[in-house]
Chains A and B, each alone.
Chain A
């Protein structure tokens, strides 16, 4: 196995939550110097080895301890117990432009921030023009940074940070900044860092970032490590954790229209059923709903909707599609919704099923988000859906056409830069 770049051993970090904070002498004296606090373990017993040269993702929802972990590795927070060993030089980008002094010029701040991040004065001098050019701030470099726009501010912050060239780079989810062109440049830098064999630890809750860039990923929740795995599996674990599978609210009670009709259990069957809990993008999906009926419903229209993890509808069937017409006799039965192919990408999706009257607006029953299915995307495509894609190339001079590889040969030609991530 390769040597570890970062070894985290039994790391724990306790924060004290004070209900009331006594920072003045009088209050301290009045309370006898003690302050009531509630211990809060932001990290408990975290163990992880991050290998040299790998890009390691840390996923977790807000408050899961992922940023605390990064701050401990960076040396900003002191661990309550445990130890971290870092091989080589380290730079942390927790917040772009964090060390900037508002009153100083861009020029002064490049020197100050660069030195804070570990560059020597001579190195900064050598790279100064490069940094300014990267930040696209040639005109404004002698203005005080307090007059900078927020975009200029973070561009300068990033320009300094990427010039630090540490062995280990820690990145908090700070990088979705700037316009598309600037994001492209940032991405190039990160790719270059990877090619040069530097270790990168990135903390985020953007699964796209993890999927596209990381070799391995760790999922955290409540200060504990949930899993350390390949990105695909880790993302699955993260989404499962995020949604708290099985706790989706299902509507209780009987049918809406006179209690004559109700939808029972709703199941999702898919291409991977039996062997794995999730289906891969492109596999088939069948939603089966049990119907109970106290009378016969001759004019039912079955409807189905698929929601993403935020509850947004990603698909809803055509309410007037004749193919959805169902006749439900007394006693009920099952209704099957067959999707031959699910082009959705990663995520946990929930299904709503309903039956309504064809002739009037009566809804016999509607079950909102009663069942879930998970999609795992085995490929590197990102986004919400996989669209069929063909790429061809026509040579200008000869008029010859030919196939070109979908993955561009030159990394900077990123055809697959996602819209809202610079990774």
Chain B
């Protein structure tokens, strides 16, 4: 729980002077002058009780946005503390992962897609953000027990800060991507790039929801961190990132599993990743006069609709995560 601010009490003070003489028969030794003047007329009243309403919770988050920036910054600093390469790792790491996938899918399983690295990169950008944040968020409350037990602040911020960290790493990787686009002389789909901010908003809200949820649950059930690792791995392969939608989507239809296709795209990460792929790589490629599409042919409006659906779902999940967090955080100080 946290402190919440309400409007100044309607039964507010009369603004009169006599004050702090509160219990004033005993001045501190040497106290100069008798009056401890009341410093403010109307002060906001904080109420601490069992349940904090959602409105206050969101307002608290907003008033603590400076803290969010600082928590993000300190988590970033700690992530690369004492390492020689420091921030270089945030580029190096995904680059290495990217090259492994590239070698395997391009040369071992002979994927014919040209500029396959760009395709991979587009999807991995999305996944890396989600994955980085979710992995660190799971242990963030437990790892910051010192603060959680001794300082009052909206603890959700710890989880949201992990998203902030992941976002910074994401931006560094975007820099690498731009270099890669130039190197491969690959032209992105400029129209669809206008959808990227929208997709980012979806991604941030959805990731925050997952992070908030995981960080709170792990306090009570420490298995969560191990379970998360496995589930994230499975989740990764269920999103068309290292393979193309076109290699799975039609197969569902062929086996009469159209419902599975819908289930597949109901994973909020999938439409977001696809938007990135659509914008950065394009809808498909032409090789030897044959046109191959890699993504579902739903057009610009289709993407907008998909992202809107994801937004609605993400906001709902975010609020739900806050409710769960709020119910669990009451006993954080005892459980840690």
Interfacial residues, chain A to chain B (CB-CB below 8 A) = 2-3, 15-16, 23-26, 28, 51-55, 71-90, 92, 94-95, 98-101, 103-104, 108, 111-112, 115-117, 120-121, 167, 191, 194-198, 212-216, 230-231, 380, 407-414, 416
Contact = CB atoms under 8 A, between A and B. Distances in A.
B325 to A, nearest CB: 12
Contacts of B1: 75, 78
A214 to B, nearest CB: 8
A197 B70 contact: no
Contact of A23 (B24, B222, B331): B222
B44 interface: yes
B264 to A, nearest CB: 28
Interface in B132-173: 146-147, 149-153
Given A52-B22, A84-B47, A103-B78, A94 B150 contact: yes
Nearest to B38: A197
A112 B82 CA distance: 20
B67 A2 contact: no
A89 B82 CA distance: 38
A98 to B, nearest CB: 3
A196 B39 contact: yes
Contact of A120 (B66, B73, B78, B220): B66
A197 B30 contact: no
B30 A408 contact: yes
A71 B22 contact: no
Contacts of A198: 39
18 contacts: A2-B18, A3-B13, A78-B48, A79-B49, A81-B50, A84-B49, A85-B47, A85-B48, A86-B3, A87-B43, A98-B151, A103-B82, A104-B74, A195-B28, A197-B37, A411-B31, A411-B32, A414-B29
Contacts of A407: 29-30
Nearest to A73: B48
A167 B43 contact: yes
Contacts of B67: 115-116
Which residue of A3, A98, A231 has the most chain B CB atoms within 10 A of its CB atom? A3
B2 interface: yes
B151 A99 contact: yes
Given A76-B149, A86-B48, 10 more contacts: A23-B222, A52-B38, A78-B50, A78-B330, A99-B147, A108-B74, A116-B67, A167-B43, A215-B26, A411-B30
B36 interface: yes
B20 interface: yes
Majority DSSP secondary structure for residues of B touching A: loop
A80 B50 contact: yes
In the A-B complex, the 7 residue pairs with the closest CB atoms: A53-B20, A215-B23, A411-B30, A78-B330, A98-B150, A88-B43, A51-B22
A95 B147 CA distance: 10
Interface of B: 1-3, 9, 13, 18-26, 28-32, 36-40, 43-50, 66-67, 70-71, 73-74, 77-78, 81-82, 146-147, 149-153, 220-223, 227, 329-331, 333-334
B204 to A, nearest CB: 22
Contact of B151 (A53, A116, A215): A116
B153 A86 contact: no
A53 B36 contact: yes
Contacts of B32: 195, 411
Nearest to A21: B335
A326 to B, nearest CB: 46
Given A3-B13, A85-B46, A54 B334 contact: no
Which residue of A26, A82, A88 has the most chain B CB atoms within 10 A of its CB atom? A88
Which residue of B82, B331, B334 has the most chain A CB atoms within 10 A of its CB atom? B334
Contacts of B39: 167, 196-198
A51 B13 CA distance: 13
A167 B330 CA distance: 25
A128 B179 CA distance: 40
A197 B24 CA distance: 11
Which residue of B28, B31, B82, B222 has the most chain A CB atoms within 10 A of its CB atom? B28
A86 B73 CA distance: 31
A167 B71 CA distance: 25
B223 A25 contact: yes
Contacts of A196: 36, 39
B227 A25 contact: yes
Contacts of B46: 75, 85-87, 90
A23 B221 contact: yes
A2 B21 contact: yes
Contacts of A75: 1-3, 46, 48, 152
A87 B223 contact: no
Which residue of B1, B147, B151, B334 has the most chain A CB atoms within 10 A of its CB atom? B151
A216 B21 CA distance: 12
Contacts of A86: 3, 45-48
B77 A108 contact: yes
B23 A51 contact: yes
A134 B19 CA distance: 31
A303 to B, nearest CB: 40
A58 to B, nearest CB: 15
Contacts of B19: 2, 52-53, 197
A76 B155 CA distance: 10
A216 B23 contact: yes
Nearest to A54: B22
A198 B66 CA distance: 25
B30 A215 contact: no
Contacts of A416: 29
A386 to B, nearest CB: 16
Nearest to A51: B22
A371 to B, nearest CB: 33
A76 B329 contact: no
B47 A71 contact: no
A198 B37 CA distance: 9
Contacts of A215: 22-26
